[in-house]
Amino acid sequence: MALFSSLSERLNHIFSKMTKHGKLTALEIKEAMREIRVALLEADVNFSVVKSFIAKVSELAIGEEILKSLTPTQQVIKIVRDNLIELMGGENQKLNISPKPPTVIMMCGLQGSGKTTFAGKLALKLKKEGKKPLLVACDIYRPAAIEQLKVLGKSIQVDVFERGTNNPVKTCKEAIQYAEKFSIDTVIIDTAGRLQIDEKLMQELKEIKKEINPTEILLVIDAMIGQEAVSVSTAFNDALDVSGVVLTKIDGDTRGGAALSIRAVIGKPIKFVGVGEKLTDIEPFYPDRMASRILGMGDVLTLIDKAQEAVDEKTAKELERKFRENSFDLNDYIEQVNSLKKMGGLKSVLSMMPGIGGKLKQIEEQIDEKKLEKNKAIIQSMTPKERANPDIINGSRRQRIAKGAGVEVSDVNMLIKQFNQSKEMMKMMKNPKAYGGKMAMIKKLMGS
């Protein structure tokens, strides 16, 4: 999830130039703001949103306060960050729940924005939270759209309500009656994608809204959308008074400036982000975390959340002890690979680490998730004794392991070498003074 990484690269660059200068002059701020403007525009933030953002931030930045301060770079970052957070809506906003079930969630958006996939993701998420969701297929225009939702529903074992290509307004009404009858607490309506200037189809959405009065109307927007973000979100909001926004497809290398534009223009919160092609790839949207990421300050909070989901406390404590005592063995390594996977893979974890933001691209090239899998296979071909004491793995054992895992002996050698290196690294972390030079280098790499 490398959202905004390019933007952070740029901002980091601007601010690193500033640090070298020491105290800031008004002229330098102006230069920084010019680069922020270009960076934001290249991140697809809407033209007019950029304009007002820059004006506001410049006003705040060019002042005595900042010129007199001891760490001007940090102050500029803080001002830009605070304003980005404000622009994106402050705090995370949860889904509205109807006091009287069912809660009705209506999705809308342009063609290809990812409504159907997102409807599936949301249904799965709610199901995991103990709700009983129902998916309603109302896209009667795109060939096989209903079929797509049915396949999705089947894969997550959520019922799909459809009436073929009948009038969607009627289908929605019947779906809600069905939900009431079978005590289903959440109804998710997937509508057809449409252009915001298609009056006939916009009218259809208005009618659905009028008939079923949804608890939540979510506007689904492709995070890669360009300057159009403003006219699209404005038109849908004018027609439906949407209650929230969902940003999809931010698992590519999109810069996602739409997040900034939409909230600034329609004033509605972004509630979720779709972060991948798997149905579990859905996350709440946190403006503060996102702003931190924009500035390359990492997304540690999301990382902690994910880690908590993936690792139970007992395992974590045990691991911590092993780190401390340097008795980390290959069994733990496997455990780590598994938790990493649960957390969304190594790349996803790395992209959330502070200071990695700008360097992710370089690192990404070196990471091969397949290699992790290969290493797992190698370790699984070892005896428990070997896993606990890798030192006993001699030549013939290596050959046996390689055969068992279906790899070359050199792969086994590589793994053991890497394992020893990481143990060495852990020693360094424990006792940084003894490794002064190297530690400083690592710290530098981590950007702290």
Partner 1 sequence: MGIFKKFFDKLKYTFKKTELNDDFYDELESILISSDMGVETAIEIMDDLRLICKQKLIKDTEHAQIELKQILINRLNANEIEFNYPLIITVVGVNGVGKTTSIAKMTKYFLNKKKSVILAAGDTFRAAATEQLSNWADRLKVKIIKQGEGADSAAVVFDAITSMKAKNNDVLIVDTAGRLHTKTNLMKELEKINNIINREYPEAKKLNLIVLDASIGQNSIVQVKAFKDSVNIDGIILTKLDGTAKGGVVYPIINDLNVPIIFTGFGEGVDDLDLFNKESFVDKILM
Binding site residues, partner 1, CB under 8 A: 38, 41-44, 47, 110-114, 141-145, 147-148, 150-152, 155, 195-197, 222, 224-228, 231-232, 249, 251-255, 257-258, 277
Crossing angle between the packed helical segments 72-87 and 47-61, to the nearest 10 degrees:
140
Q: How far is the CB of 272 from partner 1 (least distance, A)?
A: 17
Q: How far is the CB of 90 from partner 1 (least distance, A)?
A: 25
Cα–Cα distance between 191 and 113 in angstroms, integer? 12
User: By C-beta, is 7 or 57 nearer to partner 1?
Assistant: 7
Q: How far is the CB of 30 from partner 1 (least distance, A)?
A: 17
Q: Is 88 in a helix, a strand, or coil?
A: coil
User: By C-beta, is 24 or 123 nearer to partner 1?
Assistant: 123
User: By C-beta, is 104 or 232 nearer to partner 1?
Assistant: 232
User: By C-beta, is 195 or 441 nearer to partner 1?
Assistant: 195
Cα–Cα distance between 300 and 32 in angstroms, integer? 26
User: By C-beta, is 127 or 397 nearer to partner 1?
Assistant: 127
Q: How far is the CB of 349 from partner 1 (least distance, A)?
A: 16
Phi, psi (rounded to 5 degrees) for 191: -100, 165
Q: How far is the CB of 441 from partner 1 (least distance, A)?
A: 29
The sheet carrying 270-274 orders its strands as: 159-161, 133-138, 186-191, 103-109, 216-222, 244-248, 270-274, 282-284
Q: How far is the CB of 149 from partner 1 (least distance, A)?
A: 8
Q: How far is the CB of 32 from partner 1 (least distance, A)?
A: 16
Cα–Cα distance between 135 and 260 in angstroms, integer? 30
Other CB atoms within 10 Å distance of the CB of residue 154: 11
User: By C-beta, is 228 or 335 nearer to partner 1?
Assistant: 228
Q: How far is the CB of 195 from partner 1 (least distance, A)?
A: 4
Phi, psi (rounded to 5 degrees) for 219: -90, 120
User: By C-beta, is 50 or 402 nearer to partner 1?
Assistant: 50
Q: How far is the CB of 183 from partner 1 (least distance, A)?
A: 28
Q: Read out DSSP for 329-363? A: -HHHHHHHHHHHHHTTHHHHHHHTSTTTGGGHHHH
Is the CB of residue 187 less than 8 Å from the CB of residue 175? yes
User: By C-beta, is 41 or 442 nearer to partner 1?
Assistant: 41
Cα–Cα distance between 205 and 190 in angstroms, integer? 11
Other CB atoms within 10 Å distance of the CB of residue 241: 11
User: By C-beta, is 176 or 229 nearer to partner 1?
Assistant: 229
Cα–Cα distance between 240 and 223 in angstroms, integer? 21
Q: Is 67 in a helix, a strand, or coil?
A: helix
User: By C-beta, is 44 or 216 nearer to partner 1?
Assistant: 44
User: By C-beta, is 72 or 133 nearer to partner 1?
Assistant: 133
Handedness of CA 301, 304, 309, 310 (dihedral sign): positive
Q: How far is the CB of 167 from partner 1 (least distance, A)?
A: 19
Cα–Cα distance between 284 and 88 in angstroms, integer? 13
Query: Beta strand pairing status for 244-248 and 133-138?
Result: unpaired
Q: How far is the CB of 288 from partner 1 (least distance, A)?
A: 24
Cα–Cα distance between 218 and 104 in angstroms, integer? 11
Other CB atoms within 10 Å distance of the CB of residue 109: 26
